[in-house]
C-alpha cells in the first residue's frame, strides 16, 4: 500500500498535475520504451509490441478548490475544480500546493441544509486581505487535506479517485511477464473537469482498444441507493454509465480476462457518472472501449474507502489484460 499512499497524498488537482506526474514517471521509468508528456499534461508511456494498439488509462488529477476572491478580513471565497459537494466540505481541512492549510466553513446565518459553494469560504488564519495574499493568490488551488489509513482490509484516503487506478496500472505493468499488444499506458490530466486529457491523448495514440481504470459508487452502506457494487466482491466491469456503453469487443475481452485469471468480479451498470472511456470511445473513427471499476465508498470526499482485496484483484485483472492479445476480440 506504500505506492497507493504516496500517490493519494500528493496535492495535484485538475490542471496542476505536475507533482503527481513526476512521482508516476519515476515509478515507471524502467518499464517502457518511451515516456513523454503532451501539451495537456498527459503522461504517455509506450511499450512497443507487434499486436494491436491497446491503451490503458487512469486519471492523475483530483477534485479541488480554486480561490476566486479574498475579502478584507482575509477569508477566501472559492469555486470548484470538478465535483465538489458542499455537504462533504463543511469544516473540512484543505491544503494548497505551497503547504498552506485552511478550513472550509459556511456563512452561519444560513441553514446548513441550504448551503452551496457560493455561501462558503476558506479560513487560512489570515487577519486581512494583505495577510492572506502573503500565503495564497487568486487562482491558487487546494485539495482536501487528509491522512492515509489502512483500517483492517480497507484503505481510507482522499483522492483514491483515481490514484487507486494509477497505482493499479503501475503495479500491473511491473508484474506483467509480457505484453501481447502494442501497449500505451496513459496517466491522464483533467478528467474531473470534463475528460479533457483522455480526449487529447486518445486522438494522439489512436488506439485499437482501450480500457480505463477508475472508481465507482457502491450500494453496501446502511439505507444506501440500490447499486450493484459492494466492497470486497472484486473489481467491476462497467457495462455503461452516462458517458458510454461498453463495446461488445471490449466486454468480451475484459470478461474473458477476468474468467481466465480466475478473478472474482462484479458487473456494473449506471445511469450517471463518467470516466475517461466516455471521451476515448468517441475519438478518431471510434474506439472499442470499456472500464474496470474499483468499488469505492464516499467518492469525492476527504475519506474515500476501498477494499484492499479489490485493489489487488484489480492489479491481477489489468495484468491479465496486458498479457492477453486484443486482436482476436477486435476481429470477432
- Catalytic annotation, residues: 191
Alpha helices in the chain (DSSP H): 2-8, 18-28, 86-89, 129-133, 160-175, 196-205, 248-260, 277-280, 308-323, 327-331
DSSP secondary structure letter of residue 206: -
Helix axes 248-260, 308-323, angle to 10 degrees: 110
Q: Judging by DSSP bridges, how do beta strands 141-144 and 93-96 pair with one another?
A: antiparallel
Is residue 180 a contact partner of residue 24, using CB atoms and an 8 Å limit? no
DSSP secondary structure letter of residue 190: -
Amino acid at each position: 500500500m506504500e505506492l497507493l499512499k504516496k500517490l493519494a497524498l500528493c496535492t495535484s488537482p485538475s490542471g496542476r498535475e505536475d507533482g503527481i506526474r513526476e512521482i508516476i514517471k519515476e515509478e515507471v521509468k524502467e518499464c517502457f520504451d518511451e515516456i513523454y508528456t503532451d501539451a495537456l499534461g498527459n503522461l504517455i508511456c509506450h511499450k512497443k509490441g507487434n499486436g494491436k494498439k491497446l491503451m490503458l488509462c487512469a486519471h492523475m488529477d483530483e477534485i479541488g478548490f480554486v480561490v476566486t476572491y479574498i475579502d478584507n478580513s482575509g477569508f477566501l471565497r472559492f469555486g470548484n475544480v470538478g465535483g465538489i459537494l458542499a455537504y462533504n466540505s463543511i469544516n473540512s481541512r484543505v491544503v494548497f500546493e505551497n503547504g498552506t492549510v485552511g478550513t472550509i466553513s459556511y456563512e452561519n446565518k444560513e441553514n446548513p441544509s441550504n448551503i452551496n459553494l457560493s455561501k462558503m469560504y476558506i479560513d487560512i488564519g489570515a487577519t486581512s486581505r494583505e495577510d492572506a495574499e502573503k500565503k495564497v493568490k487568486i487562482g491558487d488551488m487546494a485539495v482536501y487535506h487528509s491522512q492515509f489509513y489502512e483500517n483492517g482490509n480497507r484503505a481510507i484516503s482522499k483522492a483514491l479517485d483515481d490514484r487507486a487506478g494509477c497505482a493499479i496500472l503501475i503495479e500491473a505493468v511491473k508484474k506483467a511477464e509480457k505484453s501481447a499488444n502494442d501497449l500505451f499506458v496513459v496517466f491522464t490530466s483533467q478528467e474531473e473537469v470534463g475528460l479533457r486529457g483522455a480526449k487529447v491523448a486518445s486522438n494522439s495514440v489512436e488506439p485499437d482498444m482501450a480500457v480505463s481504470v477508475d472508481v465507482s459508487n457502491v450500494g453496501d452502506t446502511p439505507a444506501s441507493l440500490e447499486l450493484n457494487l459492494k466492497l470486497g466482491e472484486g473489481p467491476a466491469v462497467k457495462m455503461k454509465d452516462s458517458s458510454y456503453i461498453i463495446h461488445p469487443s471490449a466486454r468480451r475481452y475484459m470478461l474473458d480476462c477476468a474468467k481466465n485469471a480466475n478473478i472474482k468480479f462484479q458487473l456494473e451498470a449506471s445511469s450517471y457518472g463518467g470516466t475517461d472511456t466516455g471521451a476515448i470511445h468517441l475519438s478518431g473513427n471510434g474506439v472499442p472501449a470499456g472500464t474496470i471499476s474499483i468499488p469505492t465508498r464516499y467518492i469525492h470526499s476527504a475519506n474515500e474507502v476501498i477494499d484492499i482485496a479489490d485493489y489487488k484483484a484489480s492489479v491481477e485483472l489489468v495484468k491479465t489484460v496486458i498479457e492477453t492479445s486484443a486482436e482476436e476480440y477486435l476481429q470477432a
